[in-house]
Chain A
Amino acid sequence: MSAAAGAVGRGVPLEAALRARRDAGAKLLVTYMTAGLTEDWVDYLQVMVEAGADAVEVGLPFSDPVMDGPTIQEASVRALARGVTPEAALSALAVREQPVPLVAMTYYNLVLRAGLERFAARAAAAGVTGAIIPDIPLEESGPWEDAAADAGVATVLLAAPVTSDERLAVLCRRSRGFVYGVNLMGVTGERSSLAGSAGVLAKRLKAVTDLPVVMGFGISTPQQAVEAAAAADGVVVASALMRAVLDGASVVELGAAVADIRRALDRG
């Protein structure tokens, strides 16, 4: 597949970038940043990239985040209280070009309210090349996938431990950019250990797709990142980083936390 397929925005194409890193032998690190969490949230995003994130998920906060646990709920509430809107968040992203792909992570109502085409076009114009919308399963996501593809935005689909083999095959066929493996039955949030279901799902995904397979939910430490990445191509680390920012970590400190995970993944 051509690296630039469908790319009409100015961001870094998601799938091509992740494939290139994987093919070079790296484990993928995708980090997460809640848009608008602090005044200088783009600086946090920037330091994640500098510390070795291969892509960054940008959370556009929603009032009712049903797939998120206490940490991202708290981050969303705080960002919303600061008055962030999807529009303002995307405008802030557009100001600074990033050398890695940006992936919008949000809930469907914000997309619907803006209009599918309009939302996709705005995201692309801000340099976003991927989207994760956890409350639209296969049966409902078709219209968004089409609108996103037209704008050059890859729709990343999520697979769960309870997803049947049959659904897994369809999901891997339709997912763009990468496939997001949900480690556990539950919501986002730090966990003291990696769920046993993570490795099983990673193996099932790797067996049916050549797309990068990235595992997420509950990965809280560099050690857990290494474990979760073992059977997959990489990991998403979200709540643990947002916990640090909520607890007052500076931009430099957050960069150090991401660098720790990067180093652990590179050591293997």
Chain B
Amino acid sequence: MTLTGPATVSMGEPSETGRFGDFGGRYVPESLVPACAEVESAFRSAWSDPQFVARYRGLLADYAGRPTPVTECHRLSAELGVRVLLKREDLTHTGSHKINNVIGQGLLTVAMGKKRVIAETGAGQHGVATATAAALLGLDCVIYMGEVDTHRQELNVFRMRLLGAEVVPVRSGSRTLKDAVNEAMRAWVSEVETTHYCIGSVMGPHPFPWMVRELQRVIGDEAREQCRALLGGADPDLVVACVGGGSNAAGTFAGFVGTSARLVGVEAAGGAAVGRGAPGVLHGMRSLLLQDEAGQILEAESISAGLDYPGIGPEHAYLAGTGRAVYADAGDEEVLEALSLLARTEGIIPALEPAHALAWLVRAARDGTVPGGSTVLLTMSGRGDKDAGQVMELIGDRLDARLAAKS
């Protein structure tokens, strides 16, 4: 894999029809066309309204705890031979970057005069974040979650309910994230007058991929300046983030697309839409999708509920096509190893999703894909608390053995 790409691609507005190159668009039933148009015009005016932006920035600062720091990982860097900097989205309120998006869309819901939000969730992080923003802003909230994920992420289900949201287990299809999106879209069609669909990643029909990237670009904009302060005005050589739908990666890349940094998105090996997908239409967008010969969507498979998505945001499909960003993947086993490594060397337990980005970096540093001495900014999109139970089941024995060998 080569990591070079032209620096001429920008991450600006999509075309009038919501396209990034050939990808994106608005493939929704006629019933949802007016609602998408309403969200687009509301976001356009809000995003250029200094008062709205000030409210959004104010809540990110005083409520969500921004700016998040960039942490230099001295011990991990020594181990890998590359200089690793982490953008600490795990330190935000609710523990992941998802809060940046939901505060923006929550305020937009209020601005549109709606009193209710619905959302899909995989790992539960977006569900928890949406329920949090709904509680903060006094909105009713219903979260659609695949039944399989409600079991994998029991604690997050309880959190959402504690926050006043209703959690609807989705029993159709593969009972994971893609089915939760289907069910949320079905619900939105019948509730569209009163309800905003708070999509959790840079996916869905226009304007969502663009809007969510704009609401997440705070990650990259902060990180770029923080890196420059740390690196004497220089930019990192490499910027790495995990990709489910791709919101933390898009927000991160937006801050660095104009620099010389090489951009790398890391998908779960069992959900690698760039690596193994083909162009298609799902959930309102044309993008790269895991699908069979006939066009039936395949189920992604990963230990990480947050990356269990058979597609990728359309702007990532575009960036991949231009070569400005490259997309790799990481398998379950190396992810668990990387998670333990960061915990032991830096005292940071990552969520399984960003552990994918880390796993790729560990491999790429060791096999020379990333040259020794490179500087790498990696977005630590969330903290590992939500996954602790699952990780204990997966590697608890191994940990016991390691400790026994030491004593």
Enumerate chain A interface residues (CB-CB to B < 8 A). Answer: 62-67, 69-70, 73, 77, 80, 85-87, 107-114, 134-140, 157-164, 167, 171, 182, 184-187
The digit string for B11-26, where 1 denotes a CB below 8 A from any CB of A, is: 0000001000000011
Q: Is B297 an interface residue (CB 8 A)?
A: yes
Tell me the bound Cα distance from A107 to B284 in angstroms.
11
* Interface residues in B, total, Cβ within 8 A: 36
- CB distance A112 to B280 under 8 Å? yes
B280 shortest CB reach to chain A, Å: 5
Q: Which 3 A-B pairs have the closest CB atoms?
A: A113-B295, A186-B190, A160-B31
B17: which A residues are within 8 A, CB to CB? 139-140
- CB distance B295 to A66 under 8 Å? no
Say yes or no: A64-B28 contact (C-beta < 8 A), given A80-B296, A109-B291.
Answer: no
B216 shortest CB reach to chain A, Å: 25
Counting chain A CB atoms within 10 Å of each CB, the highest count among B35, B185, B189 belongs to B189
B83: which A residues are within 8 A, CB to CB? none
Interface residues of B in 8-52 (CB under 8 A from A): 17, 25-31, 33-35
B398 shortest CB reach to chain A, Å: 36
Interface residues of B in 106-127 (CB under 8 A from A): none
- CB distance B173 to A137 under 8 Å? no
B3 shortest CB reach to chain A, Å: 32
Q: Would you call the interface of chain B mostly helix, strand, loop, or mixed?
A: mixed
B190: which A residues are within 8 A, CB to CB? 184-187
Q: Is B404 an interface residue (CB 8 A)?
A: no
A167: which B residues are within 8 A, CB to CB? 30, 33
A63: which B residues are within 8 A, CB to CB? 173, 296-297
Contacts between the two chains (Cβ within 8 Å), count: 117
A184: which B residues are within 8 A, CB to CB? 190
Say yes or no: A137-B28 contact (C-beta < 8 A), given A109-B280, A109-B291, A113-B280.
Answer: yes
Q: Is B390 an interface residue (CB 8 A)?
A: no
Tell me the bound Cα distance from A62 to B182 in angstroms.
12
Enumerate chain B interface residues (CB-CB to A < 8 A). Answer: 17, 25-31, 33-35, 172-173, 178-179, 182, 185-186, 189-190, 192-193, 278-284, 289, 291, 293-297
- CB distance B26 to A137 under 8 Å? yes
Tell me the bound Cα distance from A137 to B280 in angstroms.
16
Tell me the bound Cα distance from A155 to B30 in angstroms.
14
Tell me the bound Cα distance from A66 to B285 in angstroms.
13
B280: which A residues are within 8 A, CB to CB? 109, 112-113
- CB distance B27 to A64 under 8 Å? no
Tell me the bound Cα distance from A69 to B192 in angstroms.
16
A67: which B residues are within 8 A, CB to CB? 29, 186, 189
- CB distance A135 to B28 under 8 Å? yes
Counting chain A CB atoms within 10 Å of each CB, the highest count among B33, B291, B293 belongs to B33
A40 shortest CB reach to chain B, Å: 22
- CB distance B33 to A137 under 8 Å? yes
A73: which B residues are within 8 A, CB to CB? 172
Tell me the bound Cα distance from A64 to B28 in angstroms.
13
B282: which A residues are within 8 A, CB to CB? 64, 109
B154 shortest CB reach to chain A, Å: 25
A181 shortest CB reach to chain B, Å: 10
- CB distance B281 to A64 under 8 Å? no
A186: which B residues are within 8 A, CB to CB? 31, 186, 189-190
- CB distance A185 to B192 under 8 Å? yes
- CB distance B34 to A162 under 8 Å? yes
Tell me the bound Cα distance from A80 to B33 in angstroms.
29
Q: Which B residue sits closest to A113, measured CB to CB?
A: B295
Q: Which A residue sits closest to B174, measured CB to CB?
A: A63
A137: which B residues are within 8 A, CB to CB? 26-30, 33
B172: which A residues are within 8 A, CB to CB? 70, 73, 77
Tell me the bound Cα distance from A134 to B186 in angstroms.
13
Counting chain A CB atoms within 10 Å of each CB, the highest count among B30, B172, B282 belongs to B30
- CB distance A139 to B297 under 8 Å? no
A185: which B residues are within 8 A, CB to CB? 31, 189-190, 192-193
A162: which B residues are within 8 A, CB to CB? 31, 33-35, 192
Other A-B contacts than A70-B172, A135-B284, A162-B33, 15 sampled, CB-CB below 8 A, are A62-B296, A64-B173, A66-B185, A66-B186, A77-B173, A107-B281, A108-B27, A109-B295, A112-B281, A140-B27, A159-B30, A163-B33, A171-B30, A185-B189, A187-B186
